[in-house]
Amino acid sequence: MNITAKTNVKKSSGKFEKYSPDKIKKSLEKSGLKADELLNVQRELEAKLTEQETSTNEIFDKAKELIFKKSHFFAGIRYSLKNAILLLGPNGFVFEQFLSKALSREGYQTKTNIILQGKCIQHEIDISADKNDYKMLIESKFHNDQEIKNDLKTVLYVKARMDDLKSRTENNFDDFFLVSNTAFSKDAITFAECSNLKLLGYNYPLIKNLYQLIEDGHHYPITSLPWLKKSDLKIFFEKNILTLHELYAHIDLLVELNYSRELQVEFATNYECHFNNCNKLSL
């Protein structure tokens, strides 16, 4: 029998919750599919799931497979974004480089892993970004589990670093950002808003959060591609190829790594159609 509202779904945290069609619909809406396409995908997805115990990972994998099979290439990319960012791990270095590249495409002059002297001690800053007469410093926090929130303790630590740097007049910056691929706790948000520390993450701000900014700027990571082998990610990362833009510019690497001609053509065609407003494919 098909999945029902009584079916237990195991989350990545190990906890269980009842299956919710509304949650699935909300999740699928992130893909940008049209209403009728979204309904068809949800119906097919629920038909593939049984009333026995399942997991959020299984639901995600099956939904992604259905979206890509229907040739909705960038719908699949958008739907996979949260998981794709997680694959930029396991440490925070690649995530920092990804953020820097996204900012560069937005017109910022960026530097990574710089040392600045505060009033009391030196600080290693993950990213500095300058555009026109505006400068921001960024502390990035990467987590390998989407369930992990950035708590008040993390915000207090970053705020202390910001204050020490601001106390030295040579450090001329407009804003200090804490950027994370996961959510912030309620207390973390409240304190940050009160203390002028900027946050950017999964759940903050409500408009123009991290994932919305990635989508708006089309800064999709290569980890969004469903057919890219995880064993090859290290090679791409070492060559500093992190985004779809960079992969398209170095598409010969797919040949070197023995990806099929069909996959190369599929990727190039979808990429070109998407960024040139091509109407040949349903995106």
The type of residue at 156 is L
User: Structure tokens of 231?
Assistant: 């064993």
Classify residue 130: in a domain, yes or no: yes
Same domain for 19 and 32, yes or no, is yes
Spatial distance between the Cα atoms of 113 and 96, rounded to a whole number of angstroms: 9
Strand order in the sheet with 54-55: 16-18, 8-10, 54-55
Same domain for 26 and 45, yes or no, is yes
Same domain for 207 and 225, yes or no, is no
Same domain for 100 and 197, yes or no, is yes
3-state secondary structure of 66: helix
Spatial distance between the Cα atoms of 86 and 100, rounded to a whole number of angstroms: 17
User: Structure tokens of 234?
Assistant: 């290290």
Given CA atoms 87, 105, 76, 272 in this order, what sign does their dihedral have?
A: negative
Same domain for 116 and 165, yes or no, is yes
Q: Which residue has the tokens 């049209």?
A: 34
Spatial distance between the Cα atoms of 157 and 178, rounded to a whole number of angstroms: 10
What beta strand segments (E) does the chain contain? 8-10, 16-18, 54-55, 109-117, 122-131, 134-141, 175-180, 198-200
Of 264, 265, 281, the closest CA to residue 273 belongs to: 281
Distance from the Cα of residue 190 to its chain's centroid: 24
Using alpha carbons, list the distances in angstroms from residue 238 to 106, 229, 235.
Answer: 23, 15, 5
Q: Which residue has the tokens 């630590």?
A: 157
Q: Which residue has the tokens 């555009």?
A: 131
Same domain for 164 and 240, yes or no, is no
Question: Where does a domain end: 181, 198, 216?
Answer: 216
Residue range of the domain that includes 191: 93-216
The whole-number pLDDT of residue 118 equals: 97
Classify residue 3: in a domain, yes or no: no
Classify residue 32: in a domain, yes or no: yes
Same domain for 122 and 203, yes or no, is yes
Same domain for 128 and 212, yes or no, is yes
User: Structure tokens of 259?
Assistant: 């990806």
Classify residue 242: in a domain, yes or no: yes
Peptide bond into 90 cis (omega under 30): yes
The whole-number pLDDT of residue 57 equals: 82
Of 258, 201, 251, 260, the closest CA to residue 222 belongs to: 251
User: Structure tokens of 278?
Assistant: 């091509």
Classify residue 2: in a domain, yes or no: no
Strand order in the sheet with 198-200: 109-117, 122-131, 134-141, 175-180, 198-200
CATH of the domain at 189: 3.40.1350.10
In the chain, how many domains are there? Answer: 3
Angle between the N-to-C axes of helices 35-48 and 21-29, in degrees from 0 to 180, rounded to the nearest 10: 130
The whole-number pLDDT of residue 35 equals: 84
pLDDT tens track of the chain, all 283 residues? Answer: 567 777 788 877 778 888 888 888 888 888 888 888 888 888 888 888 776 768 888 888 888 888 877 767 778 888 889 999 999 988 899 999 999 999 999 999 999 999 999 999 999 999 999 999 999 999 999 999 988 999 999 999 999 999 999 999 899 999 999 999 999 999 999 999 999 999 999 989 988 999 999 999 999 999 999 889 989 999 999 999 999 999 999 999 999 999 999 889 888 988 888 776 554 433 3
The whole-number pLDDT of residue 162 equals: 98
Same domain for 81 and 107, yes or no, is no
Neighbours of 14 (CB within 10 A): 7
Same domain for 172 and 183, yes or no, is yes
Spatial distance between the Cα atoms of 81 and 79, rounded to a whole number of angstroms: 6
The whole-number pLDDT of residue 122 equals: 97
Classify residue 1: in a domain, yes or no: no
3-state secondary structure of 274: helix
Same domain for 160 and 250, yes or no, is no
Spatial distance between the Cα atoms of 233 and 29, rounded to a whole number of angstroms: 28
Same domain for 225 and 242, yes or no, is yes
Question: Where does a domain end: 216, 238, 271?
Answer: 216
DSSP 282: -
The whole-number pLDDT of residue 273 equals: 81
The whole-number pLDDT of residue 278 equals: 55
Question: Where does a domain end: 185, 201, 216?
Answer: 216
Of 10, 5, 112, 105, the closest CA to residue 56 belongs to: 10
